[in-house]
């Protein structure tokens, strides 16, 4: 059975649909990549799943997570799932962390908000363990440091530690490595893979980077203008894309291993 | 490459004072952003400076274009030492070397029409606009693949890729011999990025300018560069012909950088290209 099953999902602002009735499935422990260019609706899709759409946006369709339709939940019951059984990692870790609190306090409080009756001392221990699991050295000391004392890559490790503290069944990562240097990106992608191996968590990775998706996902959803143009196994999407848009998108990706002459252009592009 | 380089940088050093470290009688601590960088750029060549954030690649480009002053070292443009050229003589430098920036919107004045934006470099340099401002602007737009009838529009009416084309048109207005592209395609979607890379290559073929291409994306560099200099911590650790650097990297840091780049599996790529060829 699917861990997550999305059907006819729409996101509208007034009369404008930014996600136009899409669907996909994610099995327990699976990893799904949602790729698209800016304006494709990929981030709105992830925010819709989390119930975190901006003000003025309306959500339609169904999002069934482990047998429960998230669209039918009250905000109070959604809060109990979000950040606990479903965790999120965003692009910019600095804006997701509060500069006035130590990272340990933030991990511990996020944990305590989902585990009533846990003492501060026990939550702090969870925070240290979570930081150790994401390979932050001297976690016992660094737990008392503030976000600005960490580099970009280390902050993203802190965010992953926070996401992991409740042992989620699903991690949603929206462009988690886009702001990072390439060597740091490789470390964070390795870390995510290791964490999934150890905990069995499923992953939805939202990104514009096709090469990243090809390394991380086992199923790929290609989005454009709010619609899914193609869904398939990662191997099928990258070795035998069916939709002209997917084919054109892959033709436009610059390769590191060879020069391919003029990059093929997408027809109907506006630039 | 032989002959006089268009742009010759020797032992460039740039130090910045570290904010908050200066005392009453104590000078500020200095941070060395660029630490002894040298390179030659020839006509028709694209030299890519690659590196991660904080490597000093953008600062190096700004030194070479005389947007900021060196702490030490020299920059020669077409054989002339421009390192210490006084401000009033920089106009000549600006008509020889032009810069295209990463964020097209923040580098275009939102209150000016495209015509005013692309002719501004000539006006600042008090040069005659050949054929008149309107016709000149229209010809420039056509060269970068935009509709010449758009000269009266404002930046907000354009997409990111179109705005970057306007930035390139403005840079070309003075007929520069050196074009500095500072992460010029980094903020663009992949399909738009491909168009701008192709445009830059076509323009270079036509005009023969030298291009100093600053980028963190190694796959983009592979498509556009003829030579590559790899920077880290303010120093060039490896430099050479593009295929030599990518195909047989000598320095440990270059190897690490190349290994870290995510890749689509070669067998998937090969299968896709086989099928695409039969479509």
Domains of chain B plus CATH, in order, are: 42-55+86-278 (3.40.50.300)
pLDDT averaged per 10 residues in sequence order, chain A, 271 residues: 94 93 96 94 93 93 96 93 92 83 94 90 94 91 93 89 92 90 90 92 95 96 96 97 95 81 54 43
Q: What is the pLDDT of residue B54?
A: 87
What are the chain B neighbours of A235 within 8 Å (beta carbons)? 268
**Is B223 in CB contact (< 8 Å) with chain A?**
yes
Of B192, B196, B272, the CB nearest to A239: B272
For residues B143-147, average pLDDT: 91
Of A186, A214, A247, the CB nearest to B260: A186
Handedness of CA B90, B91, B96, B98 (dihedral sign): positive
Burial class of residue A36, CB neighbours in 10 A (0-12, 13-18, 19+): buried
What are the chain A neighbours of B198 within 8 Å (beta carbons)? 262-263, 265
Q: Look at strands A57-65 and A68-69 and give their pairing.
A: antiparallel
A-B interface: how many C-beta pairs under 8 angstroms?
134
Pick the residue of B191, B197, B204, B270 with the most A CBs within 10 A to test the interface with A by mutation. B191
| B66 phi/psi in degrees, rounded to 5 | 60, 35
What are the chain B neighbours of A252 within 8 Å (beta carbons)? 190-191, 193-194
For residues B35-60, average pLDDT: 95
Euclidean distance between CA atoms B50 and B183, whole angstroms: 10
DSSP alpha helix (H) spans, A165-233: 182-199, 210-216
B254-258 long-range contacts, CB within 8 A, separation 24+: B254/B230, B256/A183, B257/A182, B257/A183, B257/B50, B257/B52, B257/B218, B257/B230, B258/A256, B258/B218
For B132, the token pair is 């008149």
What are the chain B neighbours of A189 within 8 Å (beta carbons)? 262
Whole-number CA gyration radius for chain A: 19
**Is B134 in CB contact (< 8 Å) with chain A?**
no
Of B53, B197, B261, the CB nearest to A263: B197
pLDDT above 80 for B2: no
Helix axes B190-207, A244-252, angle to 10 degrees: 50
Across the interface, do B264 and A181 touch by the CB < 8 Å criterion? no
Q: What is the pLDDT of residue A270?
A: 43
Q: What is the pLDDT of residue B1?
A: 53
Across the interface, do B194 and A254 touch by the CB < 8 Å criterion? yes
Residue A21 to chain B, least CA–CA distance (Å): 24
Burial class of residue A40, CB neighbours in 10 A (0-12, 13-18, 19+): buried
Q: Which of B250, B231, B186 is nearest to B64 (CA)?
A: B231
Across the interface, do B268 and A38 touch by the CB < 8 Å criterion? no
Q: What is the pLDDT of residue B88?
A: 86
Of all residues in chain A, the one with the smallest CA distance to B223 is: A259
Residue A234 to chain B, least CA–CA distance (Å): 10
Q: What is the pLDDT of residue A264?
A: 61
Maximum CA extent, chain A: 62
- The rounded mean pLDDT for chain B is 92
Q: What is the pLDDT of residue A259?
A: 67
What are the chain A neighbours of B162 within 8 Å (beta carbons)? 270-271
What are the chain A neighbours of B194 within 8 Å (beta carbons)? 252, 254, 263-266
- CA end-to-end distance (rounded Å), chain A: 43
3-state secondary structure of A5: strand
**Is B186 in CB contact (< 8 Å) with chain A?**
no
Report yes or no: B119 and B129 within 8 Å, Cβ to Cβ. yes
pLDDT above 70 for B106: yes
Across the interface, do A208 and B161 touch by the CB < 8 Å criterion? no
Of B246, B260, B269, the CB nearest to A182: B260
Residue B58 to residues A181, B63, B238, Cα–Cα distance (Å): 15, 9, 17
Confidence (pTM): 0.86
Of all residues in chain A, the one with the smallest CA distance to B254 is: A183
Residue B103 to chain A, least CA–CA distance (Å): 15
**Is B252 in CB contact (< 8 Å) with chain A?**
no
Q: What is the pLDDT of residue B28?
A: 85
DSSP B5: -
Euclidean distance between CA atoms B21 and B195, whole angstroms: 46
């Amino acid at each position: 059975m699917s861990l997550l099953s999305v059907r006819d999902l729409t996101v509208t602002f007034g009369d404008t649909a930014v996600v136009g009735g899409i669907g996909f499935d994610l099995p327990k422990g699976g990893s799904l990549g949602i790729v698209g260019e800016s304006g494709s609706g990929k981030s709105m899709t992830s925010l819709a799943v989390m119930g975190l759409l901006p003000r003025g946006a309306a959500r339609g369709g169904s999002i069934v997570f482990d047998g429960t339709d998230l669209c039918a939940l009250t905000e109070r019951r959604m809060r109990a799932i979000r950040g606990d059984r479903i965790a999120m990692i965003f692009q910019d870790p600095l804006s997701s962390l509060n500069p006035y609190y130590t990272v340990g306090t933030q991990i511990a409080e996020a944990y305590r908000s989902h585990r009533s009756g846990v003492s501060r001392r026990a939550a702090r221990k969870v925070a240290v363990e979570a930081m150790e699991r994401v390979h932050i050295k001297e976690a016992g000391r660094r737990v008392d440091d503030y976000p600005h004392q960490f580099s970009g890559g280390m902050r993203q490790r802190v965010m992953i530690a926070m996401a992991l503290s409740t042992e989620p069944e699903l991690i949603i990562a929206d462009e988690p490595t886009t702001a990072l240097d390439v060597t740091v990106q490789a470390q964070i992608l390795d870390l995510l893979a290791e964490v999934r191996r150890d905990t069995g968590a499923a992953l939805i990775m939202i990104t514009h980077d096709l090469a990243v998706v090809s390394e991380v996902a086992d199923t790929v959803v290609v989005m454009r203008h709010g619609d899914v143009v193609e869904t398939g196994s990662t191997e099928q999407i990258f070795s035998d894309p069916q939709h002209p848009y997917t084919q054109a998108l892959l033709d436009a990706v610059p390769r590191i291993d060879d020069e391919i002459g003029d990059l093929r252009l997408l027809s109907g592009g506006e630039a | 490459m032989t002959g006089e380089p268009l742009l010759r940088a020797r032992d460039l050093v740039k130090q910045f004072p570290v904010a908050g470290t200066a005392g009453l009688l104590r000078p500020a601590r200095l941070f060395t952003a660029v630490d002894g960088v040298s390179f030659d750029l020839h006509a028709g060549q694209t030299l890519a400076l690659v590196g991660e954030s904080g490597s000093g690649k953008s600062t190096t480009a700004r030194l070479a274009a005389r947007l900021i002053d060196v702490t030490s070292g020299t920059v020669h443009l077409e054989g002339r030492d421009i390192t210490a050229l006084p401000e009033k003589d920089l106009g000549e430098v600006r008509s020889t070397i032009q810069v295209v920036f990463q964020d097209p919107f923040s580098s275009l004045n939102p209150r000016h029409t495209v015509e005013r934006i692309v002719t501004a470099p000539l006006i600042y340099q008090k040069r005659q606009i050949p054929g008149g401002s309107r016709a000149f602007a229209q010809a420039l737009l056509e060269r970068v693949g935009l509709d010449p009838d758009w000269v009266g529009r404002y930046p907000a009416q354009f997409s990111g890729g179109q705005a970057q084309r306007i930035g390139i048109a403005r840079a070309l207005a003075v007929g520069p011999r050196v074009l500095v592209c500072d992460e010029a395609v980094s903020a663009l979607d992949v399909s738009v990025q491909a168009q701008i890379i192709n445009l830059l290559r076509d323009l270079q073929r036509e005009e023969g300018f030298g291009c100093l291409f600053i980028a963190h994306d190694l796959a983009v560099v592979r498509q556009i560069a003829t030579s590559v200099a790899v920077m880290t911590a303010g120093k060039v650790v490896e430099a050479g012909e593009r295929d030599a650097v990518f195909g047989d990297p000598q320095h440990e840091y270059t190897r690490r950088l190349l290994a870290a780049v995510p890749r689509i599996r070669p067998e998937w790529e090969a299968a896709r290209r086989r099928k695409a060829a039969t479509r």
